[in-house]
Amino acid sequence: MEGAGDEGRSWLVAEPSGLWQRVVRQLGTALMVVDQAGRIVAVNPSAERLLGRAATAMRGEDAHALLHRDAAGGTLLRERCPLLQALAERAAARGEGDSYLRGDGRLVTISWSASPLTTDGSFAGMAVLFTDVTTDQGARRERAAYTSALEDLTERLTLVAEITDVLGQTLETDEALARLGRLLVPRLADWAAVDLRVGSGQVHRVAVTGPAGRDAGLEGRREPLPEAGATHRSPLVRVLNGGDPILRNEQHEQHEEGREGQEGQEGREGEAAGSSLAAVHSDFLRTVGATSVITVPLGSRRQITGALTVARTDPAHPFSTEDLEVASDIGRRVGLVIDNARRFGRQRAVAEAMQRNLLAPLPQPGRLRLAARYQPAPAGSQVGGDWYDAFELKDGTLALVIGDVVGHDLTAAAGMAQLHGILRSLAWDHTGLPGAVVDRLDESMSAITTVPMATLVLARVEGHPDTGPWTLRWTSAGHPPPLLLTPGGHAEYLEAGQGLLLGTHLGTRARRPTAARSLPPGSTLLLYTDGLIEIPGSDLDTGLGRLRRHALALAHTPLDTLCDQLLARMPPGSTDDVALLALRLPP
């Protein structure tokens, strides 16, 4: 029982440190929080006064057993308690005329309102507001006002939590801003605009959301950011240059304009004309009919990524100082997300460029034809370690490689480069079977690379490059099987030659197998990474079957067309990069 009380105490009874704590402690209406079992987790000072009981005496007690009585002061059956019923149903509820027992033994008749509380999406208990209807004839109106205030507060806190959760699910800036707009409008504002600072000293309006959703017509403007030393009344300019969050209401602005007179008005007009950014922002607010506006920085004072502007168009519902606090909190969180997305984007661009530069040009020995493709993961995903290679060995044999380094970051891309070079060296130096070459790679990998694990297929295409006959010898280190398309409309996965992944360190003395298969004239061999066949929500057999169908349908097209179309026909939803290597033999 004591543990339950201590757990709830952290957010209410502790020293006030935020908006929630200040509002709760200052509420003139009694507030009690109960957990899922109906135990009292916390109460505010108004509840202590109304019930004549100290918070420490109530915390951890069963609320029904301690407080609830019938009109005569007798024990009330739990089955008849509407609060317990609301707890069981996890639904909001209200009540009038219930009797609570004070600490001095007197009964107090109350009206109450209970709202469910959630933590990380899970039901945690109820917040119960209650008032003494026997001594306060205005309690109904007062309760309604405080209930509305608490509901507004709950909505603000829920909005901040949802924004934090939703934005944390993406590392792609445009998607993050699209999600932000959908959350802010209409729950907090009628319009929302995001301006980002860009490296050229300009400000780019990247997202505008209104009642009808994203408004592309109001986006895309780029304007220079005035220097920080300049004096500007424009909230956007001031915030972007390190100023505090700003709340402006139409009535306040009209009062200020009347007090300052014509001279001040002319000064503001001249100032707006001298700042194209301020003018653009003013035009935006006039266009949407804003009557109450909040502008807050994105990020911290030391690292301002941009600015968030939210506007309301109904003069009867202006923003409050509490709304300003919420918007400021949202701005800090959004700025962090955007900064992380930018950092990720830079790292991703470096990794992708490194991968492309390390994928060597393909040879074209004799009448054999080769084609390859590398497709990065979607913008919201990380770069992986997929790679391909094809090169001629010193005995004239063509070597083919497809591989995938475990991991999805710059480290994986660097590991791919290490394996790429080492495997080429080993294959050139050791003209034996592919299984023996990969064994040597596996033995040396931990000593001379940073790669923890990897999969690959190493193959040799033996035979005269013009006339054949051709034999394929290959080994697979835990990689998806090659697909062989032969004349006559046949497709076969080459599942022989399978061995363990590289880097498993199982201590086995067994050598890796090498499989062999004759290749008919006119056949096509496809080597690929798992990104081509593995889609979230779909099993591996489905992916293999889909690749087989598409490959057969495209078997007679030029090799470059085959590769392009196989990538184009991938279903949406892939989060991995793809490497594809194709070989076609002459007829």
Task: Write the DSSP symbol of residue 126.
Answer: E
pLDDT at 112 over 60: yes
pLDDT at 338 over 50: yes
Mean pLDDT of 450-464: 92
Mean pLDDT of 540-564: 94
- Confidence tier at 197 by pLDDT (50, 70, 90): confident
Residue 362 · residue 371 · CB < 8 Å: yes
Residue 308 · residue 295 · CB < 8 Å: yes
**CA distances to 112, 132, 192, 262 from 186, in Å:** 30, 36, 9, 37
| 3-class SS string, 445-487 | HHHHCCCCCEEEEEEEEECCCCCCCEEEEEEEECCCCCEEEEC
The per-residue pLDDT of the chain, averaged, comes to: 81
**400 exposed, middle or buried (CB, 10 Å; 0-12, 13-18, 19+)?**
buried
**9 exposed, middle or buried (CB, 10 Å; 0-12, 13-18, 19+)?**
middle
Instruction: Copy the structure tokens of residue 160.
Output: 């901040």
Give the pLDDT score at 506.
64
Q: What is the spatial distance between Cα 471 and Cα 460, in angstroms, rounded to a whole number? A: 8
Q: What is the spatial distance between Cα 279 and Cα 207, in angstroms, rounded to a whole number? A: 18
pLDDT at 583 over 80: yes
Residue pLDDT, tens place only, 359-391: 678 998 889 999 999 887 765 445 567 889 999
- Confidence tier at 445 by pLDDT (50, 70, 90): confident
Residue pLDDT, tens place only, 494-534: 999 999 999 887 655 668 899 999 999 999 999 999 989 98
Task: Tell me if residue 214 falls in helix, strand or coil.
Answer: strand
Give the pLDDT score at 356.
58
In our burial notation (b when 16+ CB lie closer than 10 A, e otherwise), range 21-59 reads bebbeebebbbbbbbeebbbbbbbebbbebbebebeebb
Q: What is the spatial distance between Cα 132 and Cα 51, in angstroms, rounded to a whole number? A: 10
Residue pLDDT, tens place only, 166-194: 655 555 666 777 778 888 888 889 999 98
Give the pLDDT score at 6.
42
Mean pLDDT of 559-580: 88
- Alpha-carbon dihedral of residues 535, 540, 545, 547, nearest 10 degrees? 50
pTM: 0.49
Give the pLDDT score at 11.
38
Greater confidence (413 vs 552) lies with 552
**CA distances to 32, 312, 329, 336, 497 from 184, in Å:** 30, 11, 13, 17, 56
Residue 451 · residue 418 · CB < 8 Å: yes
Give the pLDDT score at 217.
85
Mean pLDDT of 326-351: 73
Q: What is the spatial distance between Cα 254 and Cα 145, in angstroms, rounded to a whole number? A: 29
Other CB atoms within a 10 A radius of the CB of residue 500 amount to 18
Q: What is the spatial distance between Cα 279 and Cα 269, in angstroms, rounded to a whole number? A: 9
Question: What percent of the chain stands above pLDDT 90?
Answer: 42
Give the pLDDT score at 52.
94
Q: What is the spatial distance between Cα 526 and Cα 567, in angstroms, rounded to a whole number? A: 13
Task: Write the DSSP symbol of residue 431.
Answer: -
